[in-house]
Amino acid sequence: MATAILFGSKPMSERAEKPPENVCPAVPAANGQSVRQLSLSGAAANCGKGPGQTDASTAGEHTVRTASPEELQWLAEQSRRLESATAEEILQWAVERYFPRFTMATGLGPEGCVIISMLAKIEPRVYVFNLDTGYQFPETLALRERIAEKYGIVVDLQRPELSVEQYEALNGGPVYKTDPDRCCFDRKVRVLHRVAANFDAWATGIRRDQSPTRANTPIVKWDAKFGLVKISPLANWTRKDVWRRIMEEGIPYNPLHDQGYPSIGCWPCTRPVGEGEDERAGRWSGTAKTECGLHT
């Protein structure tokens, strides 16, 4: 049995709190260290693979790699070149270039499920994780199990240091009600910073037609916030393309999509959308907030 399958078939109880196994070979003593420890050590800065020199800067408690002008130019060239490539070809390029320092973050939306189905064929050992805020729908967590059964890929759960109970007790109640930007920062962005320290590149499922803020998403770009190369293999897919692939291949998806939720995040900040509404209209509805901060 391939190593990939062994990796993917570990019980979730064992995987949930462990650091990624796909860490850079140059990072010393990775085994047994937590992601946070690696982040604080700044070890990831040793593994830049792009052309030209890379450097690292510190943002708060996390070390964030920075890109050289040569790397930025090279990434822009690659992005232009990959505009006409298929999503599979883009992922293949990312794997060849960055694996095992290549990861994927997914909220288990339809796009993420499609990318997982592709990774299962291209390189199932890619470390795939979910930012588990503690506020996810039970249906989302159940989908994770179905993905594992179908593809042998266990989507790891990366959690904030404080449980929901601890976090709300510390803040006098649910922060999503009073300051959703801070809640998203504490329960998503901060966690992604912690994970990012172990990788050079990440894949996301964002599409240009999802919203005006995503309309100019390049296939490949430098993500300065997290110090990673950001790859969006479905950037030029439409919503219809995604659902056609899901139906054609029987890819598991969240049953809430059949109940009026085209875009699903945390349950306190997601509502079903009405006829003719934008597909992300149900996210942070009634506020000016449109993004959690991972992609802005």
Q: Interface residues with ligand SF4 (CB under 6 A)?
A: 133, 135, 176, 180, 183-184, 187-188, 265-266, 268-269, 292
Beta strands across the sheet bearing 156-158: 156-158, 127-131, 102-105, 201-203, 228-231, 220-223
Place of tokens 């875009």: 263
What is the token pair recorded at 276? 């003719």
Nearer to ligand SF4, 50 or 160 (CB): 160
Nearer to ligand SF4, 173 or 276 (CB): 173
Residue 278: partners with Cβ closer than 8 Å, 6 or more residues away: 211
Pairwise CA distance, residues 82 & 104, whole Å = 18
What is the token pair recorded at 80? 């232009």
Work out how close the CB of 165 gets to ligand SF4 at its nearest, in angstroms, rounded to a whole number. 14
Pairwise CA distance, residues 104 & 112, whole Å = 9
Nearer to ligand SF4, 133 or 217 (CB): 133
**CB–CB of 147/117 below 8 Å?**
no
Work out how close the CB of 283 gets to ligand SF4 at its nearest, in angstroms, rounded to a whole number. 8
Work out how close the CB of 202 gets to ligand SF4 at its nearest, in angstroms, rounded to a whole number. 19
The crossing angle, in degrees rounded to 10, of helices 69-82 and 87-98 is 150
Work out how close the CB of 272 gets to ligand SF4 at its nearest, in angstroms, rounded to a whole number. 16
Nearer to ligand SF4, 168 or 241 (CB): 168
Inter-CA distances, 76 with 71, 80, 220, 224, 286, Å: 9, 6, 7, 14, 37
Nearer to ligand SF4, 187 or 221 (CB): 187
Active site residue 292: yes
Rounded to a whole number of angstroms, the CA Rg of the chain reads: 18
Work out how close the CB of 135 gets to ligand SF4 at its nearest, in angstroms, rounded to a whole number. 4
Known catalytic residues are: 292
